[in-house]
Amino acid sequence: MFFLFALAFLGMASRLFVLQIVEGDRFARLAVAQRDRVIEFPARRGAILDREGEPLAISVDLHTVWTDPQNVADPRGEAAKLAPVLGLQKRELELKLSCECRFQYLARQVGPKVAQKVKELDLPGIYLEAEPKRYYPGRRLASHVLGFVDIDGHGLEGIESQYEDILEGTPGSMTLEQDPSGNELPQAEYSYERARPGRTLLLTIDKELQYFTQATLASATRDFSASGGTAIVMRPATGEILALANAPDFDPNKPGDFEEADRRNRAITDVYEPGSAYKIVTASGALEEGAVTPRTTFVVPDSYAYSDRVFHDSHPHPTEKMTVSEIIEQSSNVGTIQIGLRLGGKKLDGYVRRFGFGSKTGLDFPGESPGIVLDRADWSGPTIATIPIGQGIAVTPLQMAAAYSTIANGGTWVEPKLLAATMGTNGRLEASPPAASRRVVSRSTARQMTAILSKVTEKGTGIEAQIPGYAVAGKTGTAQKPLDTGGYGNSYIGSFAGFAPSDRPEIVVIVVLDEPSPIWGGSTAAPTFKTITQFALRHLGISPTGNAVKAAREIEAEQGADAATYD
């Protein structure tokens, strides 16, 4: 008997040694997991404001209804009472209330009236918890810039996704001790950690200008039967994007109601062949390298054979002598190809890349495309002729806006930016880093290009972009859309990019219309550019060029119709 008892106690001692010493930490953790109950409190997401502090995205408090099924006394009876209040099926609720678990969501982010009715029912095991919900007061306003969040408040697209780490904050939590039935232990210790809200973002977007740009673009797509479009307004000196609009757009309050194509920020993610608007790269490079001057003449026929292709001007004309300035002014494809050939393929490729094509802008926006630019080693016979006229290369509207900003900014490329500053709960602003910049062409070349682009709007293809009282520089673009199977079809992209006032540029505006009717950028995108730019100049308080009194009277004569449209 002694021997048997000795073995039994030895076995128990060995087992206790294993439980308390060898595996003690593991069992202690299991005990804590069974005893402790952690309740997490979501942090309030930081707001998104425009440059003047106007709200673009905010968080509002709603309530979430949840249950601990272990504390539900009568699943069937409680389901019958809750179903009409929450608008759910009785059977669905009963299954959740009968679950062998400790937590189940019943309804997320319900309104105050519903929450009050649930509270008045006072049902065992049914709880309410405050939960912030993202709200976009402008509805469709700047929707492609802002993006949207999921039901848990995590950014999915746009600024909401790009700056998730800044906006989301740190959730708070409370740890309680409970018995095996889930009841809180009286006088037990508990810990509480306060939630830390996310930081607020101040964007470079101007809410008023964004609204007008968006409304004008939507109107243009309807008036010209376009399948879509993009418009961007930028400050050339700082790279600040004041407005960025796409059509069609969507409401980020209910993104699931819209097609994925409507939610795509085509200004940054989509590429297109720019056509004649791209000729500034060819002309700027040739002027910078001394290959031509604005007065250099070329003999320009209306068609030109190079390699295995024949290139045509937009309209038949007799062979004539044209200066470089006239070639750009009249948007001659043949003349521009000759300028490109004189510049040479190696140098042309260099300027394509110096202007920022073939690489992302540095905005770091989700889904941003670098465009499509062939490596120099992959050029074929006609490439030296296609690239000067904006064919065989694909760009984003934002890249084109940055390229025109380079000319407007005296030859310096400035990185586009959307974030102006961040702000914490203490109200202190922290400015975002200044935009990166680099010299692309000299100030002299930029001045020469500005003079050439000013003639485009004075007497060339861009006369529809003229603004009374202001000198405008810009360029039209009309480009065939390539087919997926190769070659080109009968669909076109019409565009106009420019800046004003051309003698002291303050804003750059680009308008791109997809498949407009008529197809010409000078007839569709140029007047849209005019409407947006004219409003922007007034809104930003930029004084007219030349005779200010006469210019102001001319603008006032047109202001009535524009103001009515805006209101």
Residues 212 and 128 both lie in one domain: no
Place 550 in a pLDDT band, splitting at 50, 70 and 90. Answer: very low
Tallying the residues shown for the chain, one arrives at 567
pLDDT tens digit sequence for 347-370:
999 999 999 999 999 998 999 999
What single letter denotes the amino acid at residue 277?
A: A
Inform me whether the pLDDT recorded for 94 exceeds 80: no
Distance CA 38, CA 250 (A): 38
In a domain, 143, yes or no: no
This prediction's pTM: 0.80
Q: Which of 471, 497, 460 is nearest to 551 (CA)?
A: 471
Count of domains observed in the chain: 2
In a domain, 443, yes or no: yes
Distance CA 364, CA 362 (A): 5
E strands along 434-566, which residues? 437-439, 473-482, 488-500, 507-514
Mean pLDDT of 510-533: 94
Distance CA 319, CA 312 (A): 12
Residues 365 and 488 both lie in one domain: yes
Inform me whether the pLDDT recorded for 566 exceeds 70: no
Distance CA 536, CA 152 (A): 38
Q: What is the pLDDT of residue 176?
A: 60
Residues 113 and 250 both lie in one domain: no
Residues 242 and 123 both lie in one domain: no
Residues 282 and 403 both lie in one domain: yes
Residues 216 and 359 both lie in one domain: yes
What single letter denotes the amino acid at residue 240?
A: E
In a domain, 201, yes or no: no
Task: Calculate the CA dihedral of residues 285, 289, 290, 293 and round it to 10 degrees.
Answer: 10
Residues 406 and 531 both lie in one domain: yes
Q: Which of these ranges, 76-80, 402-406, 545-549, has the smallest mean pLDDT?
A: 545-549
pLDDT tens digit sequence for 403-417:
999 999 999 999 999
In a domain, 158, yes or no: no
Inform me whether the pLDDT recorded for 192 exceeds 90: no
Nearest-Å Rg of the Cα atoms of the chain is: 32
Residues 423 and 312 both lie in one domain: yes
Inform me whether the pLDDT recorded for 291 exceeds 50: yes
Strands 200-203 and 228-234: what pairing? unpaired
Residues 218 and 119 both lie in one domain: no
Residues 356 and 253 both lie in one domain: yes
- Mapped onto helix, strand or coil, the DSSP state of residue 107 is strand
Place 68 in a pLDDT band, splitting at 50, 70 and 90. Answer: confident
Place 547 in a pLDDT band, splitting at 50, 70 and 90. Answer: very low
Inform me whether the pLDDT recorded for 511 exceeds 90: yes
Place 77 in a pLDDT band, splitting at 50, 70 and 90. Answer: confident
- Can you give the residue range of the structural domain that contains 372? 207-566
In a domain, 53, yes or no: no
In a domain, 562, yes or no: yes
In a domain, 4, yes or no: no
Distance CA 446, CA 440 (A): 10
Could you tell me what percent of the chain has a pLDDT over 70?
87
Residues 116 and 236 both lie in one domain: no
Q: What is the pLDDT of residue 23?
A: 74
Mean pLDDT of 311-334: 90
pLDDT tens digit sequence for 196-252:
788 899 999 999 999 999 999 999 999 999 999 999 999 999 999 999 999 999 999
- Cα diameter, the chain: 125
Q: In degrees rounded to 5, what are phi and psi of residue 398? A: -65, -40
Place 101 in a pLDDT band, splitting at 50, 70 and 90. Answer: low
Which of 4-8, 105-109, 437-441 has the highest mean predicted lDDT (pLDDT)? 437-441
In a domain, 361, yes or no: yes
Q: Which of these ranges, 263-267, 488-492, 493-497, has the smallest mean pLDDT?
A: 488-492
Task: State the chain's mean pLDDT as an integer.
Answer: 85
Q: What is the pLDDT of residue 485?
A: 74
Containing 263, the helix (H) or strand (E) segment is helix 260-263
Strand partners, 306: 309
Residues 227 and 108 both lie in one domain: no
Enumerate residues 6+ apart whose C-beta is below 8 A from 216.
231, 528, 531, 532, 535, 565
Strand partners, 272: 395
Place 81 in a pLDDT band, splitting at 50, 70 and 90. Answer: confident
pLDDT tens digit sequence for 118-128:
777 777 777 77
Q: At 287, which CATH number?
A: 3.40.710.10
